[in-house]
Copies of this chain bind each other. A is one copy, B any other.
C-alpha cells in the first residue's frame, strides 16, 4: 500500500512504526518486517501499535532516510516482507545443528546490515551460549566477521600481537609489553578496547596521555616506523559487527564462547596479525574461574589458530586479585609509566608484562624471552620506545608519570581488624571504582595498599578511593562498607605464579 512517511531519529535500528489498521491491511504484525520502496528499496523492522501513530502514516527511524533517499511526507510503497533466510539458520542452531560456512556468513552479514532485529540477535546469542559451535564453525564465524570490515595490510612481516581476555582489574601491562616488544625490533600494532563492564579498559587509560583514535593509515605508519602503537580498536572499521553484538550480549550478561573466540580472532586477523599471544587471566570473579576452564580456552585458541593460519600461544595468568595496585584510568597510567621509569613495585605488573613480552620475543626467535624482556625494561629502552610511541600518537614528548595526576577527592578505607588478607574480590573492586566515576571520570579509581596473603593490623590502610567528584567518592566509600571487598582472616599463604599452557 502507498503510505506517507515521516522520519524520526528514534533508534539506531531500522525501525518502521505503523498503526495497527495499516499493518492488518498489509498482513504484517508487530516485530515482522516490511519492505519500503520509493526510488530506492529497503526493509525495516515493524513496530505496530493501536495506541499511537496515525493510520496512513509510517514513522521511520532516521537511519533509513539515507537508504531510501526520501523526505518527510513522501509517499512510499510499504508491503509485508518475509524474514531473511538467516532466521532459519538461527533456528537450526537452536535445534542443536551445525551450521555451514555460508549460513554463518549470512547471519553475520544480516546483523551488520540491520536485517536481523535485536530479538533475533538475542536468540542467536542465546542459542550459541547454550548449544555452542565446534572449531570448524568458529573458524568460519571468525572469517565471516573479518569480512564485514577493513583489513590492514602491512609492508612489514611478521606482525606480532597479543590479547588479554580481561576480567581482572588493574591489568595495565599493555604499554609495557608493546614497548618491550617494539624495542626488540618486532612490530606490534596493538589495538585495545574501552571498558565494557569493567572500570578501565586499556584504551581508557592510554587516552589519558595520548590519542588512541587512529585511522588505519596512521596505525600502519606508526607501527612500521616506530614498531608499535597503542590504538583503540573501535576507531578502525575492524570486524564492526562485533560492536553490534556486544550491545546485545551486555544486558544478558553472557559472552558465548564461540562469539568470544570469533570476536577476538577476527580483530586480530583484520589487523593483519601473524603471531599472537593470548593472556587468559584465571581466578574467581573473572571470566575464567579455574585452570581447567583456562586450559580449554587455550586449546580452543590453538586449534583455531591452526585453522586460521595464525600462530597462537597462550598464557594462563593469575587473576584472583587485581593486577598491581591501581585501578582506574589515570591511576593505572601512572603506575604503568612508573614501572617503565624503573620503579620495582608492584612486582605483579612487572612479572606479568615481562613474561608475556618474553613469549612474543621467543615467537620472534629471541631466546630466553622473559629474561630479555626484563633487560629491555631495566635498561630504559622500553621507556624510550614508549615515549616514541606516545609522541607519534600526539602525546607529550618525554611523558613522565608525574604528568598524571589522579582525582582530587580521596577517601581512605582501613582494615576493621587484624589478620591476613584472605581474598580481594575483583567484582567488588570494579563496582567501587565505577561508583567513584571510572572510567568516564579519568581521575577516578582505587589504589590498593595490601594484597592477598599480607598481614594487616586494625586501622591499616587497605585502599584509597580517588575521584573527580566528591559525591561519587562518598558513594563509592559507602559501597566499600557494604561490599567489604577485602576478606581478612587468620594465617594464609599463597604462591603466585604465571603459568604457560602446555
Contact = CB atoms under 8 A, between A and B. Distances in A.
A155 interface: no
Interface string A241-257: 00000011011111000
Contact of A254 (B91, B125, B247): B91
Interface stretch (A8-16, A164-172, A320-328): A8-16
B253 A83 contact: yes
A286 interface: no
Contacts of A440: 24-25, 27
A252 B87 contact: yes
Contacts of A33: 251
Given A27-B434, A122-B126, A91 B252 contact: yes
Contacts of A62: 51-52
Contacts of A401: none
Contacts of A59: 10
A427 to B, nearest CB: 13
A327 to B, nearest CB: 15
Interface string A420-455: 000000000000001000001000000000000000
Interface string A461-496: 000000000000000000000000000000000000
Contacts of A253: 83, 87-88, 91
Nearest to A197: B29
Interface string A16-34: 0100000011010111110
A96 B9 CA distance: 40
B90 A252 contact: yes
A105 interface: no
Given A8-B8, A8-B10, A126-B126, A94 B49 contact: no
A129 interface: yes
A30 B10 CA distance: 13
A127 interface: yes
A284 interface: no
B119 A52 contact: no
Nearest to A129: B94
Interface string A230-271: 000000000000000001101111100000000000000000
Contacts of A248: 31, 119
A23 to B, nearest CB: 10
A130 interface: yes
Contacts of A252: 87, 90-91, 119-120, 123
Contacts of A24: 440
B87 A251 contact: yes
B250 A130 contact: no
A434 B80 CA distance: 12
Contacts of A83: 251, 253
A131 B129 CA distance: 12
Nearest to A80: B434
Interface string A45-68: 001010111000001001100000
B130 A122 contact: no
A127 B11 CA distance: 27
A221 interface: no
Interface string A285-324: 0000000000000000000000000000000000000000
A118 interface: yes
A240 to B, nearest CB: 14
A223 interface: no
B122 A250 contact: no
Nearest to A10: B10
Given A118-B122, A122-B118, A251-B120, A17 B10 contact: yes
A47 B12 contact: yes
A203 interface: no
A251 B31 contact: yes
Given A120-B122, A120-B251, 17 more contacts: A9-B52, A9-B53, A10-B10, A10-B11, A10-B47, A12-B49, A29-B247, A31-B118, A31-B251, A87-B252, A87-B253, A94-B254, A118-B119, A122-B122, A123-B123, A123-B126, A123-B254
Closest 8 CB pairs of A and B: A9-B52, A122-B122, A126-B126, A119-B122, A30-B247, A123-B126, A31-B251, A10-B10
16 contacts: A8-B10, A11-B47, A12-B49, A12-B51, A31-B248, A52-B62, A83-B253, A87-B253, A117-B251, A118-B122, A119-B122, A119-B248, A119-B251, A122-B126, A123-B125, A126-B130
